[in-house]
Chains A and B, each alone.
Chain A
Amino acid sequence: MEKLKQHPIVKKAGFNRIVLCGVLALMYLLFSLANKNFAGLPRILSALNYAYFLGFLSLGVTFVIATGGIDFSIGPVMFCAALISGFCLTSYGVPMGISLVLSVLVGMLFGVFNGYLVAYCSVPPFIVSMASMNIAKGLASVFTKTQTVSWPQSSAPGGWYRNLIKMGSIPVGLIIFLAFAALCAVILNQTRAGRYILCLGSNQEAVRLSGVNVKKWKMLAYVICGTLVGIAAIFFVAAYTTVQPGYGDQYNNEAIAGCVMGGTSMAGGLASISGTVIGVFVIALLQEGILALGAAKDYQQVITGIIVIAAVYADVAARRRKN
């Protein structure tokens, strides 16, 4: 096993990611064998339509985890963004385009809020995100007066937003998601922001003592996350159309699981966008597969929970071995 790990191709692609792709292929095989209707690209793509929002959540939280922090508010903030912008759309007649921008803005503002508290006020990320979570849920409820918000169907005016998921048989959502993933990868690996974010996640004090303004870059990670959460909200409503206030937590675990599975370390300093993307596919496929096997939705949650623990444990164990 050790020799295999040293092989140049394995090193370049990342042992973690190769294993993950293997898991993906295996799962696909098993599910297809269990359910004849499972196989086939159209079926996969239609399943993915409901997972792009998760992908954006995972991309966002990757930046936060890279700094060594955590963000449990992503699910509720996504809902808050969808609810506030949706309410503006349906009750105040705000045009669709502006509503979509509003969604991103809400997400970004929460990112600024979280980032400021963590970076400049030194409040532990765990506490900040827990508090944010509640604020997001409450805010959404207050804004929509606890009403459920229904975004328009494709045929209704403004319904073009649903094309963001797919236009006919073109998987627009997939293209947009992968494009954003590529952008995130570039930011993380090729820009100053990404370099500082990863370095401070690994050793914040060393970076500070090198004359870098760590607070600024740490906060930026949260702002990036918030923005991506706002975009996630768009893809959520494009898929599901209906949003109910008071929910959103369940997606936290899946998003974080997808991220950590892909090789991003909870200790900070090590992050992989491509790993996150594969991790998201694994989670999406898993959920779809469980449904295809005929299991109830609740089993999905149990199994996802177990996967989260397994993924994080694998990360912790790998780090302990390295030490």
Chain B
Amino acid sequence: MGEVILTMKDIDKTFPGVHALDHVNFEVRKGEVHALMGENGAGKSTLMKVLTGIYAKDSGTITYEGKEVSFHNTREAQDAGIVIVHQELNMVGHLTVAQNIYIGREFRKGIRIDDKKMNEEAAKLFDRLRIHIDPTETMSSLTVGKQQMCEIAKAISRDAKVIIFDEPSAALTEAEIEELFKIIRDLREQQVGIVYISHRMDEIKVITDRVTVMRDGAYVGTLITKDCSKEDIINMMVGRVIYEDPKACSAVPPDAPVVLRVEHLNAGRMVQNVSFELHKGEILGFSGLMGAGRTETARAIFGADPKESGDIYINGKKVEINSPQDAVRNGIGYLSEDRKQFGIVVQKTVAENSTLANLGNFMRGLFINKRKEAQVAQQYVDSLATKTPSVEQLVVNLSGGNQQKVVIAKWLVKDCEILIFDEPTRGIDVGAKNEIYKLMNRLAAEGKSIIMISSEMTEILRMSDRVLVMCEGKKTGELDIQEATQETIMTLATREISI
């Protein structure tokens, strides 16, 4: 490890309603691999976005190569030598490898692009990295692993002195990860400073020199990898004081019937052989890090996405669910993660949105009974305390939390027996959050069965009767609420072996 090349000091950033970065410190030395870890929402991505100029910091300093800098866009950061290799690769499929690497700064002979020179230079880069890739190959014909190496080559070609890897191994095979590590070690030898964002504990232990942990937007601490244990890191990631008491014990009687049974559900990489049961009146929390496959599992159960295999039983009877229509008909409701994209119809009113899942019940012959619609909508506006001047208000004019309540109302109007809430309180203020919690408890007490997908540890511990943890498409564990703690959940969330 060499001298410090990059120092981020006291970085602070606030978005409306959320303090994303709270006086965060982070430093990178030349020739080191420095892991940046934390739960979802810890602020890792935000910190890197501030560094590379995507976001502007509110306060704090960034010192790079001894000078204070402030990048206004990624181009400036790249030109200075700070490059991110993103999780979602930004490659143009139909161009060649060399063309992708030099996109935007092609070698030219007069007005024509000099492909020959680009191929030669690209070959030199791959030599430096000791990778075997043909620069004339079309990008889309390469595997994801090889595409990622091209991104790395692209970074090197910009004379990058700091390379940030954002979840690099998520889409790679074992062999490709080995190759990636070889390259990272080479880069380290060449005194490049590397930031490695990942939640894979095993990899962190193998490839990194230091680990910095963030939590809830704040800097928690930095450890030397070989001197610390996985438990130490997990403790730093989750060791917060919870102000609300976690649920003491399950509210579900032991003889409660199984309302939903999912067996061997498979839907691509994100849902691998998932099986579980949901009892009547239960709130089953789905925990795990982002990208664990929870939403994908929910969508597969709901029929929103096609599945490869798997059986679904409702109240003991096998059901065929191939579309949301089937799911709704069988009494399942799904509140999606992204309400703006998937939950509300913006051009329509609160009343019209409320009846969307159950319009058949509001017909008088061929015509919609708008009076009944308004009445019922108003009922739910009252019982959910939705803040809206009237049910004829366009949903787009409501605040996020109230829009969420309208979507919840939609499923209540349908009177679903099984409700899947995907991140129900995301982007909602504390007051509205508590109201939604109260509502969920009420629904469970009335005998409805709820699956609650959440990335907020406190929420999972507060609301769930049982917790199911997923990691990279597999179910890694199930915990009763008594045995569920932040540590036990996080351990399961960062493990890839399924039980």
Residues of A within 8 A of B (CB): 186, 190-192, 195-196, 198-199, 202-203, 205-213, 269-270
- Per a CB cutoff under 8 Å, which of A191, A198, A205, A207 touches B366? A191
Within the assembled complex, what's the spacing in Å between the Cα atoms of A94 and B364? 41
Q: Taking the complex as formed, is B343 at the interface, i.e. its CB lies under 8 A from any CB of chain A? A: yes
Closest partner residue, chain B, to A190 (CB atom): B367
Of B325, B342, B345, B367, chain A has the most CB atoms within 10 Å of the CB of B345
The total number of A-B Cβ pairs within 8 Å is: 75
CB distance from B321 to the nearest CB of A (A): 11
Q: Are B366 and A195 in contact (CB under 8 A)?
A: no
Q: Which residues of B contact A195 (CB under 8 A)?
A: 352, 359, 368
CB distance from B430 to the nearest CB of A (A): 27
Q: Which residues of A contact B410 (CB under 8 A)?
A: 210
- Per a CB cutoff under 8 Å, which of B323, B347, B359 touches A198? B347
CB distance from A2 to the nearest CB of B (A): 16
Within the assembled complex, what's the spacing in Å between the Cα atoms of A209 and B414? 13
**Assuming A209-B334, A210-B357, is B352 touching A199 (CB within 8 A)?**
yes
**Assuming A192-B368, A208-B324, A210-B328, is B356 touching A202 (CB within 8 A)?**
no
CB distance from A107 to the nearest CB of B (A): 23
Q: Are A212 and B325 in contact (CB under 8 A)?
A: yes
**Assuming A202-B345, A203-B344, A269-B347, is B363 touching A213 (CB within 8 A)?**
no
- Per a CB cutoff under 8 Å, which of B334, B356, B360, B367 touches A207? B356
Q: Are B356 and A198 in contact (CB under 8 A)?
A: no
The 7 closest A-B pairs by CB, nearest first: A211-B328, A269-B347, A202-B347, A210-B357, A210-B356, A199-B345, A190-B367
Q: Are B352 and A202 in contact (CB under 8 A)?
A: no
Within the assembled complex, what's the spacing in Å between the Cα atoms of A192 and B367? 7
Q: Which residues of A contact B347 (CB under 8 A)?
A: 198, 202, 269-270
Q: Are B304 and A209 in contact (CB under 8 A)?
A: yes
Query: Can you spell out 14 A-B residue pairs with CB atoms less than 8 angstroms apart?
Result: A190-B370, A191-B367, A191-B368, A195-B359, A198-B347, A202-B348, A203-B342, A205-B342, A209-B302, A209-B334, A210-B410, A212-B324, A269-B346, A269-B348
Q: Taking the complex as formed, is B287 at the interface, i.e. its CB lies under 8 A from any CB of chain A? A: no
CB distance from B273 to the nearest CB of A (A): 25
Q: Are A206 and B368 in contact (CB under 8 A)?
A: no
Within the assembled complex, what's the spacing in Å between the Cα atoms of A85 and B357? 42
Within the assembled complex, what's the spacing in Å between the Cα atoms of A205 and B342? 6
Q: Taking the complex as formed, is B381 at the interface, i.e. its CB lies under 8 A from any CB of chain A? A: no
Q: Taking the complex as formed, is B383 at the interface, i.e. its CB lies under 8 A from any CB of chain A? A: no
- Per a CB cutoff under 8 Å, which of B325, B342, B346 touches A202? B346
B207-236 CB mask vs A (1 if < 8 Å, else 0) is 000000000000000000000000000000
- Per a CB cutoff under 8 Å, which of B329, B348, B368, B370 touches A211? B329
Within the assembled complex, what's the spacing in Å between the Cα atoms of A198 and B329? 22
CB distance from B214 to the nearest CB of A (A): 34
Within the assembled complex, what's the spacing in Å between the Cα atoms of A210 and B344? 10
Within the assembled complex, what's the spacing in Å between the Cα atoms of A269 and B345? 9
Within the assembled complex, what's the spacing in Å between the Cα atoms of A198 and B347? 9
Q: Are B324 and A211 in contact (CB under 8 A)?
A: yes
Interface residues of B in 356-378 (CB under 8 A from A): 356-357, 359-360, 363, 366-368, 370
- Per a CB cutoff under 8 Å, which of A191, A196, A206, A270 touches B344? A206
Q: Taking the complex as formed, is B336 at the interface, i.e. its CB lies under 8 A from any CB of chain A? A: yes
**Assuming A191-B366, A198-B348, is B341 touching A205 (CB within 8 A)?**
yes
Within the assembled complex, what's the spacing in Å between the Cα atoms of A191 and B365? 9
Within the assembled complex, what's the spacing in Å between the Cα atoms of A203 and B407? 14
Q: Are A207 and B359 in contact (CB under 8 A)?
A: no
B414-430 CB mask vs A (1 if < 8 Å, else 0) is 10000000000000000
CB distance from A265 to the nearest CB of B (A): 8
Closest partner residue, chain B, to A216 (CB atom): B325
CB distance from A202 to the nearest CB of B (A): 4
Within the assembled complex, what's the spacing in Å between the Cα atoms of A208 and B328? 10
- Per a CB cutoff under 8 Å, which of A186, A190, A206, A213 touches B342? A206
Closest partner residue, chain A, to B369 (CB atom): A190
Within the assembled complex, what's the spacing in Å between the Cα atoms of A207 and B366? 20
Within the assembled complex, what's the spacing in Å between the Cα atoms of A208 and B305? 11
CB distance from A24 to the nearest CB of B (A): 26
**Assuming A191-B368, A199-B352, A199-B356, is B343 touching A206 (CB within 8 A)?**
yes
Closest partner residue, chain A, to B348 (CB atom): A199
Q: Taking the complex as formed, is B327 at the interface, i.e. its CB lies under 8 A from any CB of chain A? A: yes
Within the assembled complex, what's the spacing in Å between the Cα atoms of A151 and B109? 67
Q: Are B325 and A211 in contact (CB under 8 A)?
A: yes
Q: Are A209 and B324 in contact (CB under 8 A)?
A: yes
Q: Are A207 and B345 in contact (CB under 8 A)?
A: yes
- Per a CB cutoff under 8 Å, which of A190, A191, A198, A213 touches B325? A213
Within the assembled complex, what's the spacing in Å between the Cα atoms of A202 and B368? 19
Q: Which residues of A contact B366 (CB under 8 A)?
A: 191-192
Within the assembled complex, what's the spacing in Å between the Cα atoms of A11 and B343? 27
- Apart from A195-B352, A269-B346: 15 A-B pairs, beta carbons within 8 A: A191-B368, A192-B368, A195-B368, A198-B347, A198-B348, A199-B352, A202-B345, A203-B344, A203-B345, A206-B341, A209-B343, A210-B356, A212-B356, A213-B323, A270-B347
Q: Are A206 and B345 in contact (CB under 8 A)?
A: yes
Within the assembled complex, what's the spacing in Å between the Cα atoms of A202 and B356? 13
Within the assembled complex, what's the spacing in Å between the Cα atoms of A192 and B347? 16
B316-345 CB mask vs A (1 if < 8 Å, else 0) is 000000011101110000101000011111
